[in-house]
Structure 1
Amino acid sequence: MKLGYNEIMITSMYFNDINDFINLEIGVKRFQGNIERFHFNPIPLNEYSRKLFTNIETFHIYNKKDKIFNDGKIFKKVIWYTVDYSTYLKEKEKWDVYKNIRYTQLDRMKYGEVIPPEVTSIGCQCFDWCIALTRIDIPSRTKELSSNCFSGCKSLKSITIPSTISTIGSDCFYWCTSLTSINNQNIQFISKERIFVNEPVLVSIETPKNIQIINGKNIEKKSINEFIIPSSITKLGEYCFSGCSTLTSITIPSSINEIEDVCFSRCYSLISINMLSPVSEIEDYCFSGCYSLTSLTIPSSINKLGRYCFSGCESLQSINIPSSVSELGEYCFDRCLSLTSIIIPTPISKIGYKCFSGCSLLTSINIPSSITAFGTACFYKCGCEEMLKQNKTIPENCFQPY
């Protein structure tokens, strides 16, 4: 298939910086003039790159610190970074378009408990302990429910979670003791611990203690171990399986391309993980506190192990780190009390703060010459501490608490 002008414009919208655009026009003669065809900026601009995008009429602002241009050809701005609802109301008369509007606790106190239709996210503790609140309507544009946003709403009886929601923070409905009914047209699974909803991003909430009805029907709470992640799911959201204390095994299918923070944290009974997915990172706190996990094979697609990702996995005895990994995050294997040996592959250049701290049985570890950065306390109270002190390339603060 031969790419035309329209196709290459669509493709170049995903370029990272101005050099990608320039290299395209230098490398492929028939795509010369591609930059001039844009009537908006697909990337943040500076003084130099603004001169190359000569026909911009709509200016996109992606980050708060982006350079803003107000020359004669620009007649509209599109703001992508998150603003609170109060800021949006002040600025919308300028004909600017705001893509991400958060309803905060201060907004709620000022404008009331009816969430405006423009809102795309509900902020942390927005409705925290609104004990008189009996029902809430979440707008269809809303994509995120932040941590504790409805916690303590003791009178809340019913809520509809729209299919647009792709992020649900921790303790979102904590202490909603009157919540008996939930509506969602994309229910995936109902367990005793969590209710899983939506696709292609799978998100969940802790199963309310007194929940009785979902989508107008009496519910049956099943064992979490019966849940098979559907192939329609491409992403596991934050806290998705967090706190599923009876989960013993899980298969992550090949359809999954991203696993977000804290996804399997505190799955105390989790013994077996079969990772078939081509994810590139194991995110922060992903498997932290999985006390029963004894071993894990990390796929070769992984290039980074995030902060605290296996922290507190007290039964973890062995783990393979593939050569694709280049960085071990802070507290990565902190307090892995049963870990006896580990092989660090050559591409790794950094060991994070307290990475192996408290691994008291770890007696076999290699330190490749590729490592140029050692985090403080990375080997503090580690079983191989005395042996590693003989390696003069390792700084002394690696063995100190802070």
Structure 2
Amino acid sequence: MEIVFTQKHTNQYGIDIPEKFNVIGKYCFQKCYDFVDFDIPTHITRLEDNCFYECTSLISISIPTSISKLPFGCFYECSSLTSINIPTSISKIGYRCFRFCSSLKSINVPSSVSELPAYCFLCCRALKSINIPSSVREIGWNCFCGCYSLTSITIPSSISILGSDCFSECSSLTSINIPSSISELGNYCFKECKSLKSINIPTSVKTLGYGCFKDCKSLTRINIPTSVSNIGNECFSGCTSLTTINIPTTVSKIGYGCFNECSSLTSINIPSSVKTLGDGCFCGCKSLTSINIPTNISEFRKNCFNMCVSLTSINIPSILTSIGAQCFIDCKSLTRLDISTSVQIIGEECFRRCTSLKSINVPSSISVLGKSCFSGCYSLTSITIPSSISVLGPHCLDACKSLSNIELPTSIKGIGDCCFVACYKLKSINIPSSISKIGIACFKKCFSLTKINIPTSISELGNECFNECKSLKSINIPTSVKILGDGCFKDCHSLKSINIPISVSKIGNECFSGCSSLNYINIPRKVRRLEKNCFNGCLSLSDIDIPTTISEIGYGCFYGCPTELKKNKTLKKMYYRKYYDDDDCIIV
């Protein structure tokens, strides 16, 4: 018959357990701060879960041979416990048994124990060594996770699987012996073992789990045996000291982020057996200068070579059909790339900030160049857009500072916002008649643009469309255009005159603001209002006729203009007093 000593009994007996009790109940001594040393009486035959939970003052404890099991959370967060002797009578240690015993320096595991369960020694930060007997057949997930002081460990040959996060964050672990009995290294098994320099993986291992060696920052080399067929996602991610690695011919897939941030990796040979490269596979491999891609790779997934800043060249397999989003972003040393005609998709931001890329051929198999596809390719001097292209996405060629000319085929039906913004050397461009709208800030800061042809298919010039085109002297706007967007020609300092067609019904805010050379402009009769700051800073605009259709002039419309305004009878509102006190505007 079991008689349980519970927490309420401690009010009567304290920590002295009478002989009539043979079980210590759940949470019995929870947060009992009064005792430092404790000998469990020999008449106790069983301990219930969490019985010494958070006894933070407990330094040592004696366990009698009458007890056969250490239950779930038995010594959970006994943060002052420095050592413990587990008798051979113990056959089972429960989950979280010594979790957060942060002062525990050593512990013996008797040969009677067959399993070290999940979270058993989690965050035992002072634990320097532990002897695992050959009787143990399984080490559970997170078992030694966060054991910062653990320097070495010998795994017995009785173990076949190392569970997920088993030795994760053992930051002082320098070496570990993996026996030939191991067939699988679990997910994040050695994650953040920052002192681990090398490891020998036996030929018995078939699987390297997700993030298995992630952030092992001191790991310089590793030999992957031919028995391995699967390298998990993020397996070597963040191994910043890894300089070289062999991938055996048994591997068919390299998981996503597998070598992410392996910043010291200079070269890698991918065998022909590999058919899949995962997302972000080599992202951040800053020392990687070249890579040989096997001919059977059909897809570069997103972020695959992102931030490979030293990569100078790469071969494109003839069967490649897709280059994913951000695939080569920040490949700053890549000078040339020949894309095979098999490629049908180039993802968004694919070549963004490839600052050394001078030329690129876009094959006729491509129909869309997505958002920011070549954005920030500072050295790109020319690019051929094939007639298969129907859309140039937003920011597609923005900040291509060396691009001097480009031919747009008649197949293009859409040019995205900010498509050519900051193409400083672009001198002229011919917009095909297939385009109906020039998007927001499309040619903003094209400082060298002197000539542009606007076809009769265009109905709207978007906001800031030609903003800061400082070399643009004149422009012909066809009668198809109905709207001039906000800031459309703002700060076009060389623009002297412009003929606005009678079709235009709206001139946006700040449309000609800062056009300091503008000396003539006509306002069509369809325009009903001159928006705020429309001609602000037009220092050369000396004379302007306001048609009778104008009923309102917005704030600061002619601020800074030495202009004589001929006020018409239909003008209802003119906001001039607050803004015209210091300028030369005359109202007649």
- Structure-2-length-normalised TM-score: 0.37
Q: Which amino acid aligns with 2:179?
A: Q
Q: Secondary structure at the match of 1:249?
A: coil
1:331 corresponds to 2:326: yes
Q: Which of 262-271 and 190-199 deviates more?
A: 190-199
1:313 corresponds to 2:308: yes
Q: Are residues 258 and 362 of structure 1, via their aligned partners in 2, closer, same or farther at CA, if it must alter by over 3 Å?
A: same
- What is the deviation of 1:167? 6.9
Q: Which amino acid aligns with 2:96?
A: E
**What pairs with 1:97-176 in structure 2 (closer than 5 Å)?**
113=96, 130=123, 140=138, 152=146, 154=148, 163-164=160-161, 173-174=168-169, 176=170
Paired residue for 1:291?
Answer: 286
Q: Are residues 300 and 251 of structure 1, via their aligned partners in 2, closer, same or farther at CA, if it must alter by over 3 Å?
A: same
Q: Which of 126-135 and 260-269 deviates more?
A: 126-135
- Fraction of identical pairs, as percent: 36
- What is the deviation of 1:206? 6.0
Counterpart CA distance in 2 for 1:324 and 1:251 is 25
Deviations 1:338-366 (A, max 9, x none): 00110111121111221111101111211
Q: Are residues 230 and 395 of structure 1, via their aligned partners in 2, closer, same or farther at CA, if it must alter by over 3 Å?
A: same
Candidates 186, 195, 202, aligned match of 2:208: 202
Counterpart CA distance in 2 for 1:155 and 1:325 is 48
Q: Secondary structure at the match of 1:252?
A: coil
Q: Secondary structure at the match of 2:245?
A: strand
Counterpart CA distance in 1 for 2:214 and 2:291 is 26
Counterpart CA distance in 2 for 1:166 and 1:334 is 36
Could you tell me which runs of 5 or more consecutive residues in structure 2 were left unpaired when the two chains were aligned. 1-75, 77-93, 99-117, 399-417, 420-588
Candidates 397, 400, 412, aligned match of 1:399: 397
Check whether the contact 1:336–1:359 (CA below 8 A) recurs between aligned residues: yes
Q: Which of 198-207 and 264-273 deviates more?
A: 198-207
Q: Are residues 185 and 250 of structure 1, via their aligned partners in 2, closer, same or farther at CA, if it must alter by over 3 Å?
A: closer
- What is the deviation of 1:380? 1.0
Check whether the contact 2:216–2:238 (CA below 8 A) recurs between aligned residues: no
- What is the deviation of 1:165? 5.1
Check whether the contact 2:295–2:317 (CA below 8 A) recurs between aligned residues: yes
**What pairs with 1:3-402 in structure 2 (closer than 5 Å)?**
113=96, 130=123, 140=138, 152=146, 154=148, 163-164=160-161, 173-174=168-169, 176=170, 184-186=178-180, 192-193=196-197, 195=199, 197=201, 199-203=205-209, 204-205=212-213, 224=221, 227-383=222-378, 387-388=382-383, 393-397=390-394, 398-399=396-397
Check whether the contact 1:193–1:243 (CA below 8 A) recurs between aligned residues: no
Q: Which amino acid aligns with 1:199?
A: V
Counterpart CA distance in 2 for 1:292 and 1:180 is 25
Paired residue for 1:64?
Answer: none
Paired residue for 1:76?
Answer: none
Check whether the contact 1:194–1:244 (CA below 8 A) recurs between aligned residues: no
Check whether the contact 1:155–1:179 (CA below 8 A) recurs between aligned residues: yes
Paired residue for 2:60?
Answer: none
- What is the deviation of 1:336? 0.3
Check whether the contact 1:253–1:277 (CA below 8 A) recurs between aligned residues: no
Q: Which of 304-313 and 195-204 deviates more?
A: 195-204
Asked which structure has the greater CA Rg, the reply is 2
Q: Are residues 153 and 223 of structure 1, via their aligned partners in 2, closer, same or farther at CA, if it must alter by over 3 Å?
A: closer
Deviations 1:239-285 (A, max 9, x none): 33333334333332212112112222222232222222411111122
Could you tell me which runs of 5 or more consecutive residues in structure 1 were left unpaired when the two chains were aligned. 1-107, 116-121, 210-220
Q: Which of 155-164 and 295-304 deviates more?
A: 155-164
Check whether the contact 1:194–1:205 (CA below 8 A) recurs between aligned residues: no
Q: Secondary structure at the match of 2:382?
A: helix
- What is the deviation of 1:222? 8.7
- What is the deviation of 1:185? 2.9
Counterpart CA distance in 2 for 1:318 and 1:155 is 44
Q: Which of 265-274 and 244-253 deviates more?
A: 244-253
Paired residue for 1:36?
Answer: none
Q: Which of 389-398 and 343-352 deviates more?
A: 389-398
Counterpart CA distance in 2 for 1:319 and 1:396 is 25
Counterpart CA distance in 1 for 2:361 and 2:309 is 21
- What is the deviation of 1:232? 1.5
Q: Which amino acid aligns with 1:292?
A: S
Aligned residues: 266
- Structure-1-length-normalised TM-score: 0.52
Check whether the contact 2:244–2:266 (CA below 8 A) recurs between aligned residues: yes
Check whether the contact 2:257–2:280 (CA below 8 A) recurs between aligned residues: yes
- What is the deviation of 1:234? 1.5
- What is the deviation of 1:184? 4.3
What is the RMSD of the two structures over their aligned residues, measured on CA atoms?
4.7
Counterpart CA distance in 1 for 2:333 and 2:219 is 33
Q: Which amino acid aligns with 1:200?
A: K
Q: Are residues 394 and 133 of structure 1, via their aligned partners in 2, closer, same or farther at CA, if it must alter by over 3 Å?
A: farther
Check whether the contact 2:288–2:311 (CA below 8 A) recurs between aligned residues: yes
Deviations 1:296-320 (A, max 9, x none): 2210111111221111111111101
Whose RCO is larger (CA < 8 A, sep 6+)? 1
